[in-house]
Structure 1
Amino acid sequence: MTASGHPTDDLVVANLALVGYHVSEVMMRVPPTVTRDELASAGSLALVLAARAYDASTGVPFARYAALRIRGALLDELRSMDWATRGARHRARELAATNDRLTGALGRAPSREELAQALGTDVTAVDQARQDAERRVLSIDATVNPVADLLSDDSPGPEDALLISERMRYLRAGVEALPDRLRQVVEELFFHDRPVAELAAEMGVTQSRISQLRTEALGLLRDGLNASLDPDLVTTGERPQGVAERRRQTYFAAVAARAATSANRAAMTEAVSVPTPRRGADSGRAVGAPSRLTSA
């Protein structure tokens, strides 16, 4: 316990080093016009907000959860000063997602021609999107208040909150539905922060095999979520009628079924928690008070 004795304060104090680590990592990749103080302020606020929102019952270590929040806040801070238009950033994100998807499917980095074909465009557009992703030129007249921007971003509206909740439900279902070996790799590496070497020794395989299993699991997990949430992004197997593709489709169905069961369970819990009005009570008056009709 710290001197404050407050759980939230304890989490913040114990994990302050995370802010410095991620700020230092970002500072190595941005122009000198970006000040460390601006990023440190955004990262510290993200750490505090993460401590307030953390739910230990999820089983996710706080350090990992906070690291995601801090990195997101730092990216938001840089984005608020970025020259790029929303369209340019969208193209850069689309290129990155397509590159990751093809890398998982091909087992290697895709060529510019393969990226262009997957995106339905030409190589010139791919090169332009790459330039958009790599450029770090900042607008000299950016005047966004970083603290206000962070507070706004960390307070999603009802629609955003619903979408996030839905994706988290499918993510949990996707992990649970993975084959045992793949699920073990995902849970140990990402939920329990196990080193690759340690996990490889425990499972009796090489470290490169763990990396292969991780790539396979993440690719299957990504397609499992997209099969229900965004089918257009699902990769097509080389043999649509083959055994491997049938197993993928079975996994997709299992993810959808688990997510639906989780949604139904949550809906039932919410319905049970709603207080039932006492029978015979008129709206707007106390129970047991005579109504005008009976007293007339």
Structure 2
Amino acid sequence: MRERSLSLGHGCSRNCGVETWRRWGAIMPETPSPGGPDRVSSTTQQLISEHLALVGFVVSETSMRLPTYVDRDDLRSAGLEGLVQASRSFAESKGVPFRHYAISRIRGAIMDDLRRNDWASRSVRQAGRAREQAVDSLMAALGEIPSTNAVADYMGISVTELRNLDASLTRGSVLSLDAAPTPGTLQASDTLESTMTDPEDQVLENELHQYLRAAVSALPERLRDVISRYFLQGHPMADIARDLNVTESRVSQLRAEAMVLIRDGINSHLAPEQVTPAGRPGGSVDRKRSAYFAAIAEHRLHAMKQESQNSSSVPEATHERPAVEVVA
């Protein structure tokens, strides 16, 4: 198991390398050899500390050909693992300098780590490279960007197979939200759902808010006071009950009654089919409720007139509220 804390850069000293190898020694047991464990450990530690810079060199070389979202620390950690493996399996009798041998093992460990963490399979990547070669060859021959049918014919596959390949390559691509934008390329922000409100939804929401204000303004004074203090001013129910000289349960009943009135009052103008039918049509409760619905319309009309006057910069003739009152 590889540790993230083992990632090293060019500036790591020899003592840092020895300490790192000691940590690796605790994770990866020493391989016995005829020379004895102490001698193997000492030789391996020396190779590690003297060639730590190779890890940074290979990481820098490899990262230049990789997308920006690939973490360099992960590459260094994989490269260090390759250096450890190289120091364990190195045989001086074969006549190959350790530096050359270690570079190949470090590069191989990094590539293995990239393949393990790649979202696309190796076959998809190979097919993707074949597609790029096909596009380059056709562009050189035709002098223009080839069509999908031309690319599919060149690769010897169907258009459907080519589109499936493109879809697999797209799923295997990772876009960085922090990467600097590149002109002409797709940015990660372009694939995210917009947080801006749709203009139509904004109009409907504004209309709903305007009717809500009208519905609260048209409430009988006692119910309006409960709704305003509880929801708009954040007063505790106990304070409202004390000021109205009633119990908290009565305040809760008044709040529920007001919420039902507000809901039906707004629906009477925006969604009449959702209005709760009256228990006794034509009765006292039904007449009061109808008067409340009419009061909402009056308040809404008054607000619209004020908005029209404000937008046209015409002095307002009056600021009085409509003389429509509902008796609770």
Please, what TM-score do these two structures have when normalized by structure 2? 0.37
Higher Rg: 2
Tell me: higher relative CO, structure 1 or 2? Use CA pairs within 8 A at least 6 residues apart. 1
